[in-house]
Structure 1
Amino acid sequence: MHNHFSRTLERLDRVRRERILPQVHRRLGGVEIEAWAVGDDGEPVSPRHALGLTPEPQRGRPDYRPFALGDAWGPAWSTTWFRIRGKVEPRTPGPIDLLLDLGWFDHSVGGHCEGLVFTPDGTIVKGLHPRQTAIRLRELRESEGAAGTGLLDSDGRFELYVEAAANPLLLGLPPFVVTEHGEKGAQEPFEQFRLRRAETAEFSPEVYALLSDLDVLGGLAAELTEDEPRHWRLLRGIEHALDVYDEADAEASAHRARAVLAPLLAAPAHSSAHRITAVGHAHMDSAWLWPLRETVRKLARTVSNALALLDAHPDLVYTMSAAQHFAWLEEHYPELFARVRDHVERGRLVPVGGMWVEPDGVIPTGESLVRQLTYGKRYFLDRFGIEAREVWLPDSFGYSGALPQLARRAGARWFLTQKISWNDTTTFPHHSFWWEGIDGTRIFTHFPPAETYAAEVTARELRHAVTTFKDKAIASHSLLPYGYGDGGGGPTREMAERLRRFADLEGAPRVKSRTPAEFFEDAEAELREVESVAPPLAPVHRGELYLELHRGTLTSQVAMKRHNRACESLLRAAEYLSAAATVLRGAPYPKDRLDEIWRGVLLHQFHDILPGTSISWVHREARDTYRATEARLRELIDEAAKALGTATDEKTHGRTAKQTAGLLPPFVSAGTADTEREPDPVRIADGEAGATVLDDGLLRVVIDADGHITSLVDLRGGREVVPPGGRAGVLQLFRDEPVRWDAWDVDRHTLWHFQVIDDVTSRTVVRDGPDAGVEVVRRFGASTVTLTMWLRAGTGRFETECEADWQERERLLKVALPVHVMARTARYETQYGYVERPLLVNTGAQDAMFEAAMHRYIQVADGDYGLAILNDTMYGADARADRDSTVVRLSLLRGSRFPDPDADVGRHHFRWALLPGADVPAAVEAASLFNAPDIAALPPREPLVAIEPLTGHAIVDWVKLADDGSGDLIVRVYETQGGRARALLRPCAGLAADAVVWETDLLERELPTEQPVEDTAEDHLSTALPRTSAGARRPADGAALELGPFQVATLRIAP
């Protein structure tokens, strides 16, 4: 048979574009336009000021002047307010729209100029972007048989205001072009936007419906193969409809053409068709290619559009994550927030995720992830009475193996991401599975198989979801988050129309709008049913979810990492000391101040701020905020220390007392704290060929004339740590030119070749009290690095301080630390435990982990001898076996050029150290000390609370007061080695003798006294305190604790 339909889809594309789309709107007339370019620094003014409702004298009076179509507006990052007035004939029969084009590109929704429409009284109407260009002035009220006035007065007049943001296009076509426009006031030329369209038009529902029918059926025909009869029937029907349609009589012929297509749209999906739950969504980056202040406005644009869409389509559901985003709406747009709350109450808008922001899933400390969950979930509970049961992180750059436990202990049951589909080496084998954390806790996890968090509900996406879905044998459900994302925008009318047509359509999966919870309940039930019949068929993934991409985020913008870790350490001290001051001295607990600080730290852990992948503006502001936060935390620490009755700020040989002294946070088990005794001075001697020998009786170190470590002997066991003929502390410089995603990626080829930086500009022997070392200055390119290598007397630690004036572009700087330890694996610290990574590569997945995340230490061991490498800033590292040794390399600095062309340029300070003879408990304790802030000496006193070890190794990680203001003490403990630990709780004598303790979830709610019969958030979770039917509360002093591998427990003590 001859193929008469070989060009049907080409014909369809042109007819839709040239003959149908132009007939959706019939032009009625022009409008009167005036504009006011916000002066001063161009920063936004409040809408009420721009509308003349509540003047802000410091910003100047709005001055609207005539503005013509085609005129330019801008410059980059500025705001222009447009006042648009017009009149339409009230007897116009159909719906009437105002059509605007602010100068958009036909791509990058949310990535360049946008607008927000207001009425003169300040009511938000909707947001504007390249896919939201029409403002409905009046609807046709068909039920009444008459047109409603809408935004028109009785004479057909209207007045609207548009707040237009001249956000520059930074990720255009092609992407990753170096630009200075990530900072306001850039000297680089900026082509201003031009107002290209502003007119009223009558909307044709029938022509638009035909456009939607053809969109769905044409898209489906393109995805079906020629072996499927449905493919040919669709092509024949489309040809017939195109023959019937006549643009000269668009309305009537569109009706006839739709009648031709109706049987094709009525054909139901197969009974075994895959089922998709579609949820409206706008993955909104809290900052990225725009500053934080712009995200606030993006939220108003996106949410106003979403609410309008929900009102127009009663079957749709919209989801929104990040409590911070709701809080911004509450603060800056209270009327819009009230509408949000109303839709939440009606179940149409669903808060998801239960976190303060969508954070980086790898870098924050365990306590930070706890607070992301507790601050987020409490906000949803306080404002909406809703507790999110899923963790929603679609776009973070890998996920810690501690997350399953933390999510479950915070009351969550499910986890969602799609980012692992971005892997560059292997394909993850499942979409619905149990994710088992490092402690053994499991959480039902789903990766949407459409492999996007910003779907448009196209036939291609739906087909991809079906064909990609890895678990067809055991599951029939998947989730589809749809709506423009990253820069906002959300779902559109076009997506809603596709969703309605794809609900039950032959050749496509069944698509239904439901809440995420409805999807997760059904999908988890399917997996549990399979597990009950054939357990091996229920897939389980154990350990971290490593993203085989974006490895550079562990190092980019290193100041973000340094400040974040400093804030975390200061918060630990501030909360501990403040709790102690309250419990022991009756001082007021500064909860409000701590809450404000925590919310700021959590915000900056967003997955494009902390990883260092935002524009210069974002990171400049973040650095300023971090510095102010650290100062505020030191004020809190000083106030608490004063309340506790501190000694004077005395220093011993230049070293301030660290956090193991007296009342400071008890990182180590009871009775093992460092007393900061006076150590014997390090002995300095000359070695061969200009080398320097340092010896404190614990370690003997040889530093050669070039400033490299050629020998490090652990004198306690006579063990040489540096491999024979090797050198440790060698700086290696790599060409760092990713294929894509500059700030995000360190590619495999980057690590193949390097230049050794061994220039010696100067070399000096130095002493500081009992400590001694060698300072080496190295210069390369335009950069200078000063390395001061210290033998810290009496600590068993050899430390390097690095001061870098970094000016290199597209380079990666590492320090190589080869050690004479023949290990099979390396233990990289992660939240509440470690990840054990193989040093010899056997699989593609292992090969893909050529750069991986660590926190404060990496530990390696052979037999019964171990060694730890500590750091105070870094997160990226690689480790490999080298014959009878192990080479660990820490990533220090990068020099990416997009999105910030000057990323990391400037001065940096960080430290690392070798700790010979260290097992994991020793590494944890030393790493805690190494990262502890310097605090004035406190009078000797027992810790506020400690644990007495019996077996294994468990530590107190965090101490604070309860969030409910009760005065109860919250103690977070965890097991460090991946084994089992038994210990006794030992509160200090300052707590009441009759103090009682019980275990809680992360939100500090008491756990049930018996294991639940039905599956809940607590099901399958081990507890530190045994649950008994007689009651879980027991005397605090001497309370027995039992912790499983890497188990986290939250204990609540009522003093």
Structure 2
Amino acid sequence: MHVNPSIVLARLQRVVRERLRPRLYEPLADVSVSAWRVDGDGEPVPPGHALGLDVLADRENPGYVPFAVGDTWGPAWGTTWLRIEGRVPGSVLPVELVLDLGWFDHSVGGHCEGLVYRPDGMPVKALHPRNGWVRLTGPGAAPDVLAVDGSFTLYVEAAANPLLLGLPPFVETTLGEKPRPDEPEPYRLVAAQLCAFSPDVFALLRDLEATGDLLPHLDPGEPRYWRVLDAVEAALDATNVPDARAALADVLARPAHATAHRVTAVGHAHIDSAWLWPLRETRRKVARTLTNVLALMDTDPTMVYAMSSAQQFAWVQADHPELFERVRARVAEGRIVPVGGMWVESDAVMPAGESLVRQISYGQRYFAETFGHESEVVWLPDSFGYSGAWPQLARRAGYRWFLTQKLSWNDTTVFPHHTFAWEGIDGTRILTHFPPSDTYAAEVTAAELKHAVTNFRDKTRSDHSLLLFGYGDGGGGPNREMLARAHRFRDLEGAPRVELRAPEKFFADAEAELGDRAPVWAGELYLELHRGTLTSQIAMKQGNRRAEAMLRTVEYLATAAAVRDGAAYPYDELDEAWRTVLLHQFHDILPGSSISWVHREARDTYARLDARLRSLVPGSGAPGRLVGWTVVRAEPAVAPGADGVLDNGILRAVIGPDGHVTTLTELRTGRELVVEGGQLGVLQLFRDEPVRWDAWDLDRHVLRSRVELTGPVTVAATGDAIVVTRQHGDSTFTTTYTMRPDAPRLDVTVDVDWQEREHLLKLSLPVAVHTMRSRYETQYGSIERPTHENTLADEAQYEVCSHRWVHVAEPGLGVGVVNDSTYGCDVRRVPGGTDIRPTLLRAPRFPDPDTDRGRHTFRFAVLVGDETDTRAAADDLNAPQLAALADVEPLMTLDVESGAAVIDWIKLADDRSGDVIARVHETRGGRAITRPNLGFDATVTETDLLERPLPPDSDLPVALRAGRLVLGPYQIATLRLTPSPSKEC
């Protein structure tokens, strides 16, 4: 008999679509529906109020009115509560309440969702486009829903989240904020019905997926292909479901090859803590997802679910304590696995080193106190690149492994490994895995499994990879279809072996399998995509940077007051402040890729936080700032001379009539620092029209559209500055040049009233330094990157992250550029030198069409000196100015015997013992020997980043040796200073 594979597959698709899926449910009875649109602003109310269990003083009692299938509901971002009443008829099959809230055929977690409650307020199950049912009878039935006579009442909290990732994608939209009251309601109730569910039809559908979907990935030259094809056709010929399943039984029973790739499959839902929805909606998304996970676990004892982000667990604990206790029980069983050990899945490039430490310490502390669990794997599947400081941070916090998959999105080069040893800037290594399925939201399909096998790049060393399955981004998690597919692929010829288990088991096996043969990748994991996130929503970057600087100042001053004066340390206030900062470092908030609602709230939050932290500064005195660990008072600037000249006896700058620096001379040597024929301080405007991801991407073609702002300009000398003002379209740009006495630096402040659309702004600073590589500050050190474009990988780094400074050098001369609030930057060779160009602003259309409209201030300094001088200038420029600051003697200094090292942070210990914690690190990538010099009597011990004694079997280098610190390149040392009894606070 001749068999045509393409016809069989086409027939299979139609049979599934038109004959089997419609038979999955048999309608049994209608239900009665009534609805209450949450009054007022439509913001969520506690479930108890909607269910009539609690009365809110500022809300009217819910008024449910009749509601029918076909009626619309909303408005966008509003909440509608549905009350569903009915009686379950007799049925030999399981009975389910089937609901369709008006879903589109895509974007699970990206539009309307619902959470079903019992009348007593207990969450039962969530609803989304791939999970629109509630089991009422039979195995896995929701408990305590039906009365003795089969009647029931359920409530659905329906969230009218607008669809922002529709077709075409990334169109300009105003739905990032609540629409006007007269906007049409976006959703329509499509179905609400009691149906009999057919487990046999469901099983046949999964059998056909495991065989029919596998066929295109089998080799037609092998017998297996034809036997599966024959079995599928026989199943399609069958006249009933049992015969169809029997036709497939033999091919489904054939075991995988002995050398088949192994896949550890872990249930997961990567839930963005904010993105195309506000923070308040994420709280509900987490609860919905966990409700579904728990329902699945009640029916499938093999399911394991990994969940990151202590913040998301804490939200559920606060909002749904009864649900949280069920979660806690599953964690105790090892079936819900808290992973990552961080407060949120943060951006992994822009936060300061101490912020990353706190992400870990606050997260791991929550996991330990709440679950008695500490994660061993850093879990950051979707952050936009990874600093080279991560391996040391992870290992010094007790992690063994690191997971991400984001580099599979690279737009230029292909990352060469999936399981490898990642070596950080200090030389520390950590075993790292990229799931080769190239997704953190798999559905356990044959295509995904085949891709994982063929894509896996370390086959010579390993035969094992990880698969994260479940709807993500907007949540939803695994569903019963995914689990059923995973079971069929457990041991199936022609497919990899799939095993449901915890991610730590995969990593332990991979570690044992590789031994010391893991390939090594050294340095940062630079993502060749989403480069615009270093600049979009600049207020997020400024708010984060200034909050970090304020926390550093406040924690130190509070520590000094506690140690010296016995003052109460504001533990609770600082914990609250840190948790706020950590939440806003989430990888779609700090990078600026969320809707306008998120960023509007964040701007307000940062303003309140700054005011609160300033109120915690102890003591009083004259205005000043804390630079290093010394209070510095303001100095008068050098008065400008005639013809636009600033001269402090060390540097001489001439500002021309067009408002740019035409010459910057180091007076000691006569060395000119401006590239011949160039000018410092030119503002460059670029047409910024991304191909795909507006807020995320800065594409190559953008940098080819430069327009220099050289039009009409006003140059005026004030008492201590030269002020340059120019207009371009509706935007205004003011550049202010100043010099301090006795400092080899020129300060440049740029004030912008930004009214552009789809444009990007850079500040050009071309210096006469010839170098092949430039150096950028990163967490606890610096990183060197090329200034040329010799290779594809070099060229792909056309926009990179700089923290507070960039430094370029040639023999005899070093020049640094420091900033107070920017991250995006490019440094490229130009004739005669190197052009350092910080990126100031963007104006993308999606997801916030008004990104960064308004006023912004940026401060820069160009200085002569080495990296240590540049770092000191960055400390100075970023130190917060305080209205009243008392003098304070340093609690600790370093007597450096050789090399370069600094104290990065001083605080009181997390355990509230009164011990002081000091974080020290080497700064130049060399070796340093230094001795801690304490300003109070204390004993000194070294700890890990979580302030615990160093494990005796650690392979990480110990710094504290006989009272001295011996530091390797970029090595971090955390010191616990225990005050002597007579000096206890």
Structure 1-normalised TM-score? 0.91
1:808-857 C-alpha deviation (Å, 9 max, x unpaired): 01000001100001112110111111110111122111110000000000
Q: Which amino acid aligns with 1:765?
A: A
Of 582, 595, 608, 2:588 maps to 608
Alpha-carbon distance, 1:944 to partner: 1.0
The answer on 1:657 being equivalent to 2:656 is no
Q: Which amino acid aligns with 1:743?
A: A
1:322-341 C-alpha deviation (Å, 9 max, x unpaired): 00000000101101100000
1:457-509 C-alpha deviation (Å, 9 max, x unpaired): 00000000000000000001100000000000000000000000000000000
SS of the residue corresponding to residue 978 of structure 1 reads coil
1:122-145 C-alpha deviation (Å, 9 max, x unpaired): 11101100001111011159xxxx
Alpha-carbon distance, 1:148 to partner: 10
1:48-103 C-alpha deviation (Å, 9 max, x unpaired): 000001111311100000001100001100000000001122x3111100000000
Alpha-carbon distance, 1:781 to partner: 1.6
SS of the residue corresponding to residue 812 of structure 1 reads strand
Q: Which amino acid aligns with 2:128?
A: H
Q: Which runs of 4+ in 1 moved over 6 A?
A: none
Of 1006, 1010, 1019, 2:949 maps to 1006
The answer on 1:778 being equivalent to 2:721 is no
Alpha-carbon distance, 1:935 to partner: 2.3
Tell me if structure 1 keeps the 8 A contact 2:676–2:832: no
2: distance between equivalents of 1:375 and 1:659? 26
Alpha-carbon distance, 1:674 to partner: 8.4
Which stretch shows the higher mean deviation, 558-567 or 178-187? 178-187
Tell me if structure 2 keeps the 8 A contact 1:776–1:786: yes
> What residue in structure 2 maps to residue 867 of structure 1?
815
TM-aligned CA distance change 1:939 to 1:204, over 3 Å: closer
> What residue in structure 1 maps to residue 915 of structure 2?
968
Of 689, 706, 712, 1:754 maps to 706
2: distance between equivalents of 1:36 and 1:631? 40
The answer on 1:836 being equivalent to 2:779 is no
1: distance between equivalents of 2:215 and 2:799? 44
SS of the residue corresponding to residue 467 of structure 1 reads helix
The answer on 1:391 being equivalent to 2:378 is yes
Alpha-carbon distance, 1:3 to partner: 4.3
Alpha-carbon distance, 1:939 to partner: 5.0
2: distance between equivalents of 1:572 and 1:225? 61
1:943-1001 C-alpha deviation (Å, 9 max, x unpaired): 1111111111100010000011110000001111111111110111xx22xx2101001
The answer on 1:735 being equivalent to 2:678 is no
> What residue in structure 1 maps to residue 573 of structure 2?
593
Tell me if structure 2 keeps the 8 A contact 1:97–1:203: yes
> What residue in structure 1 maps to residue 91 of structure 2?
92
Alpha-carbon distance, 1:883 to partner: 3.1
TM-aligned CA distance change 1:5 to 1:837, over 3 Å: closer
> What residue in structure 2 maps to residue 582 of structure 1?
562
Q: Please show how residues 739-818 of structure 1 align to structure 2 within 5 Å.
A: 739-767=691-719, 772-818=720-766
Q: Please show how residues 356-395 of structure 1 align to structure 2 within 5 Å.
A: 356-395=343-382
Q: Which amino acid aligns with 1:901?
A: P
Of 151, 154, 173, 1:160 maps to 154
Of 261, 270, 273, 2:260 maps to 273
TM-aligned CA distance change 1:303 to 1:675, over 3 Å: closer
> What residue in structure 2 maps to residue 709 of structure 1?
661
The answer on 1:630 being equivalent to 2:610 is yes
Tell me if structure 2 keeps the 8 A contact 1:414–1:520: yes
Tell me if structure 1 keeps the 8 A contact 2:624–2:631: no
The answer on 1:460 being equivalent to 2:447 is yes
TM-aligned CA distance change 1:940 to 1:618, over 3 Å: closer
SS of the residue corresponding to residue 685 of structure 1 reads coil
Of 430, 435, 438, 2:422 maps to 435
> What residue in structure 2 maps to residue 200 of structure 1?
194
1: distance between equivalents of 2:921 and 2:854? 38
1: distance between equivalents of 2:143 and 2:150? 8
Q: Please show how residues 873-1022 of structure 1 align to structure 2 within 5 Å.
A: 873-916=821-864, 918-936=865-883, 938-988=885-935, 991-992=936-937, 995-1008=938-951, 1010=952, 1012=953, 1018-1019=954-955, 1021-1022=956-957
SS of the residue corresponding to residue 496 of structure 1 reads helix
1: distance between equivalents of 2:885 and 2:229? 82
TM-aligned CA distance change 1:684 to 1:20, over 3 Å: closer
2: distance between equivalents of 1:872 and 1:811? 22
Q: Which amino acid aligns with 1:563?
A: G
Q: Which amino acid aligns with 2:122?
A: T
1:111-131 C-alpha deviation (Å, 9 max, x unpaired): 000000001111110110000
Alpha-carbon distance, 1:683 to partner: 5.2
Q: Please show how residues 286-325 of structure 1 align to structure 2 within 5 Å.
A: 286-325=273-312
1:8-46 C-alpha deviation (Å, 9 max, x unpaired): 111111101111111111110111000000010000110
Tell me if structure 2 keeps the 8 A contact 1:138–1:151: no
Tell me if structure 2 keeps the 8 A contact 1:37–1:80: yes
SS of the residue corresponding to residue 632 of structure 1 reads helix
The answer on 1:411 being equivalent to 2:398 is yes
Alpha-carbon distance, 1:684 to partner: 3.3
The answer on 1:494 being equivalent to 2:481 is yes
Q: Which amino acid aligns with 1:347?
A: G
Tell me how many residue pairs correspond in the alignment: 979
Tell me if structure 1 keeps the 8 A contact 2:659–2:713: no
Q: RMSD of the TM alignment (CA)?
A: 1.5
The answer on 1:174 being equivalent to 2:168 is yes
2: distance between equivalents of 1:703 and 1:1041? 47
Tell me if structure 2 keeps the 8 A contact 1:707–1:760: no
Of 338, 341, 365, 2:328 maps to 341
> What residue in structure 2 maps to residue 1052 of structure 1?
976
Gaps of 5+ in 2: 980-985
TM-aligned CA distance change 1:39 to 1:1003, over 3 Å: same
TM-aligned CA distance change 1:937 to 1:597, over 3 Å: closer
> What residue in structure 2 maps to residue 30 of structure 1?
30
Q: Which amino acid aligns with 1:1043?
A: L
Q: Which amino acid aligns with 1:83?
A: R
> What residue in structure 2 maps to residue 119 of structure 1?
118
1: distance between equivalents of 2:728 and 2:844? 18
1:203-231 C-alpha deviation (Å, 9 max, x unpaired): 11111111110111111012223223222
Q: Which amino acid aligns with 2:53?
A: L
Tell me if structure 2 keeps the 8 A contact 1:722–1:818: yes
TM-aligned CA distance change 1:775 to 1:976, over 3 Å: same
TM-aligned CA distance change 1:152 to 1:707, over 3 Å: same
1: distance between equivalents of 2:219 and 2:707? 53
Alpha-carbon distance, 1:732 to partner: 0.6
Which stretch shows the higher mean deviation, 614-623 or 939-948? 939-948
1: distance between equivalents of 2:481 and 2:886? 68
> What residue in structure 2 maps to residue 46 of structure 1?
46
1: distance between equivalents of 2:143 and 2:577? 48
Q: Which amino acid aligns with 1:562?
A: Q
1: distance between equivalents of 2:183 and 2:41? 18
1: distance between equivalents of 2:337 and 2:946? 21
> What residue in structure 2 maps to residue 449 of structure 1?
436
SS of the residue corresponding to residue 449 of structure 1 reads coil
TM-aligned CA distance change 1:149 to 1:759, over 3 Å: closer
Q: Which amino acid aligns with 2:284?
A: R
Tell me if structure 2 keeps the 8 A contact 1:103–1:196: yes
1:237-271 C-alpha deviation (Å, 9 max, x unpaired): 111001103xxxxxxx1111101100011000000
> What residue in structure 2 maps to residue 684 of structure 1?
640
1: distance between equivalents of 2:143 and 2:973? 60
SS of the residue corresponding to residue 392 of structure 2 reads helix
2: distance between equivalents of 1:906 and 1:694? 30
Tell me if structure 1 keeps the 8 A contact 2:658–2:713: no
